[in-house]
Amino acid sequence: MRAHEAGTLHADLGSNGPSWLRTPDDVNALVPILWPKTVTRAASGAIEVGGVDVHRLKEEHGTPAYILDESDFRDRCRNFRNAFGGAEVYYAGKAFIATAVVKILVEEGLSLDVCSGGELAVALRGGMPPERIGFHGNNKSVEELTAAVEAGVGRIIVDSFDEIERLTQIALKAGRRPRVMVRVTVGVEAHTHEFIATAHEDQKFGFSLAGGAAAEAVDKILADDVLELRGLHSHIGSQIFDASGFEVAARRLLSLQARVSEVHGRELPELDLGGGFGIAYTTQDQPADPHELAGDLLRIVKQECAALHLSVPHLSVEPGRAIVGPAVFTLYEVGTVKDVDGIRTFVSVDGGMSDNIRTALYDAAYSATVAGRASSEPPILARVVGKHCESGDIVVKDEFLPADVKAGDLLAVPGTGAYCRSMASNYNHVPRPPVVAVADGTARVIVRRETVDDLLRLDVG
């Protein structure tokens, strides 16, 4: 077990080990856990997704572009829904949200977690029934809370005493009784294979369980009786590969649930264990099957409830990354290949840190492949970099690419569905790439490419 000091957290998100430890057996191989399910390499050597070849995608939509395999995305929605059975699956919109995505979620029967007024607007525009929306955030504004109350969102996850007060006033004014959950800081911090269960009260989210603030928040909401308290919530981290962290979190939440039942003589009907289910970014990651995780979580909650003589609350989870992350790859074009003598080969693509900040920000590990053709050349160790004016502008730190990789090659980076488009920027005034959904031989733009005109439109004077 390793201490997660402030400041090391981001590095931990990418601590899969150096990707160059992977064997370069076959530089053209597509390892299934890294790629959306319909991706294949055609006889021509070019990658196809949903029956569409990357050259056609490049011709019709340009590069860079995020390519979403729609049937893979839908499968992951269904897989989570089936795995969690009666529990509610709230897709975490912060991973990637767009109107077309919300429409798919509605069709697949998922609910949606939003964390800003902007995400709420997309959710409503996409037709998500308000009662299936959960609203998160540690500093929701009066305008955002008012919009949520007026829309009738199913639950607002309250995060501070200020917010309880603010929401109470808004509810009284509107003559409404919003449903709320209390976000609890359970003292568990989980990332990848590790978790610690003694620290991490020191963060901006939630009400501390150990310090008593969570119980106080519950007492206040029940005493005021303006907001309808539905239950307790916790989110313990990202890229989690097993249930041990959730187990400790669930135990702690249910101990508070037992106290509520004792002190107030009532049981809260819901319990949310948050998101954080891990995915494979490189072949070194071995994410758990959602069915396995769900089975563990449901068992733990049932056991704990039995031990505490509580009825089992209606469970919910909030996966983002695990649903959209693996369903997308980014398609780039190589612009330059520079062999820096004795050091490494830099392969520059036509995007970079503006469309994927995760490598620079978290030291995240990714993989890449030449997507437009196969090659029988031996592998060389390359670094895939972007076009931005910053030497930290790295997309894939270390990857084996064929020795004949050259300008004009198409390059694909898998696993970019989560937190890449949603964290994209206009650094260096580079317009953000489109998102193209591919299914059954058809590619449709679901978020269009930004243009320089879009950027200029914001300038005044």
Nearest distance in Å: CB 383, ligand LLP:
20
Indicate the residue type of 160: S
- Which residues is 447 bridged to in the sheet? 435
Which of 4, 12, 13, 88 touches ligand LLP by CB under 6 A?
13
Q: How far is the CB of 160 from ligand LLP (least distance, A)?
A: 14
115 is annotated as an active-site residue: no
Among residues 140, 235, 397, 421, the one that binds ligand LLP under rule CB under 6 A: 235
CB of 178 to ligand LLP, least distance (A): 18
Question: Residues 77, 115, 389, 420: which is the catalytic one?
Answer: 389
Q: Looking at beta carbons only, is 322 or 371 nearer to ligand LLP?
A: 322
Among 358, 387, 397, 432, contact with ligand LLP (rule: CB under 6 A) = 358
Contact criterion met (CB below 8 Å) for 71 and 104: no
Size of the residue set binding ligand LLP (CB under 6 A): 20
Please state the closest distance from residue 364 (CB atom) to ligand LLP, in A: 7
Q: Provide Rg for the chain, Cα atoms.
A: 23
Q: Which is nearer to ligand LLP, 48 or 272 (CB)?
A: 272
Q: 267-296: which residues touch ligand LLP (CB under 6 A)? A: 274-277
Q: Residue 364 or residue 374: which is nearer to ligand LLP going by CB?
A: 364
Which residue pairs, CB below 8 angstroms and at least 24 apart, start in 37-44?
Answer: 37/69, 37/71, 37/72, 37/75, 38/69, 38/71, 38/72, 38/438, 39/69, 39/329, 41/374, 44/373
Q: Interaction with ligand LLP in 301-330: which residues (CB under 6 A)?
A: 318-322
Q: Which residues contact 197 (CB under 8 A, 6 or more apart)?
A: 187, 188, 245, 248
Closest CA to 181 of 163, 197, 199, 198: 163
Q: Which CB atom, from 136 or from 179, has the smaller least distance to ligand LLP? A: 136
Q: Residue 383's beta-bridge partner residues?
A: 346
The amino acid that residue 393 corresponds to is D
Establish how many alpha carbons lie within 13 A of residue 423's alpha carbon, considering only the half-sphere containing its beta carbon.
16
Per CB under 6 A, 432 contacts ligand LLP: no
CB of 83 to ligand LLP, least distance (A): 14
418: closest CA among 172, 170, 68? Answer: 68
Q: Which of residues 132-151 bind ligand LLP (CB under 6 A)?
A: 136
Q: Site for ligand LLP (CB under 6 A): which residue of 419, 430, 433, 436?
A: 419
**In sequence order, what are the residues at sequence separation of 6 or more whose Cβ sits closer than 8 angstroms to the Cβ of residue 27?**
369, 370, 375, 377, 379, 400, 401, 402
Closest to ligand LLP by CB, 293 or 349: 293
Instruction: Give me the active site residues, please.
Output: 389
Per CB under 6 A, residues contacting ligand LLP are: 13, 92, 94-95, 113, 136, 235, 238, 274-277, 318-322, 358, 418-419
